[in-house]
Structure 1
């Protein structure tokens, strides 16, 4: 857990799972919040693919009734996130991962971005275990 707390000082790709967990105040939410605070203080912005940004925008309102995607977008703009477009190259990488592994399309994009940038992925989504050791992961606790 200590390694995760130091992650705000380095570059990682944020998975939608981590951001949704923080917003919904799931068990690891404080770790993600503290990581974002540390990143903001250090001037670090976490890359996140537009596909994963979209997952957060629709995923949070599904769990929190009365919250609209626009509300989530406003909150997200205040986080230390650099939104990265799903380019043709990134899409090709994501497609290859999706073809080879039984993972969601959003997870394929998050993994493809982390691998392309050569940085770890911050998540608690166990679906990414299928991509280790080729994908470096900073694991968040699920409980």
Structure 2
């Protein structure tokens, strides 16, 4: 949290996310793939990324989470189709380095979030991006990152 002193008072400074940078977590991608609530918003973001209006990110760790869930629920053929679909989009898959692993580990140690979720949070912080999700687990981080909540 950033603070400033104005007339002797401590005030929070509003975060200034890059208005054209978004991070999808596993929840958002699963909503899109399962045509669940919020799918239309994620689809719109995908189209905006395709046209170059925004940058849309997802951590490879979150991709792994989506992959195992798809395979477990619907099998390996659906997984292959999902991977082909995502590869054909403008979704930027962020590789993970040591600094990002340690940033995610710190987030996981500090907040009660899933391990893969910690990577989405770290990626949003790295790119000063808006995290797109419907997962209520992120509510505890609303003071740390900008979140766009998908409709339920």
| TM-score normalized by the length of structure 1 | 0.85
Whether the 8 Å CA contact 2:21–2:128 is kept in 1: the answer is no
Would you tell me which structure has more helix in proportion to its own residues? 1
Whether the 8 Å CA contact 2:107–2:118 is kept in 1: the answer is yes
Q: Quote the offset at 1:71 in angstroms.
A: 2.3
Among 29, 33, 42, the residue aligned to 2:39: 29
CA deviation vs aligned residue, 1:7-30 (integer Å, no higher than 9, x gap): xx7111111111110000101111
Which is worse superposed, 34-43 or 126-135?
Answer: 34-43
Which is worse superposed, 81-90 or 62-71?
Answer: 62-71
Which is worse superposed, 95-104 or 65-74?
Answer: 65-74
Could you tell me which runs of 5 or more consecutive residues in structure 1 were left unpaired when the two chains were aligned.
1-8
Among 114, 118, 137, the residue aligned to 2:128: 118
Q: Larger radius of gyration, structure 1 or 2?
A: 2
Query: How does 1:14-53 map onto structure 2 within 5 Å?
Result: 14-42=24-52, 44-53=54-63
**1:133 maps to which residue?**
143
**Partners of 1:35 and 1:68 in 2: CA distance:** 22
Could you tell me which runs of 5 or more consecutive residues in structure 2 were left unpaired when the two chains were aligned.
1-18
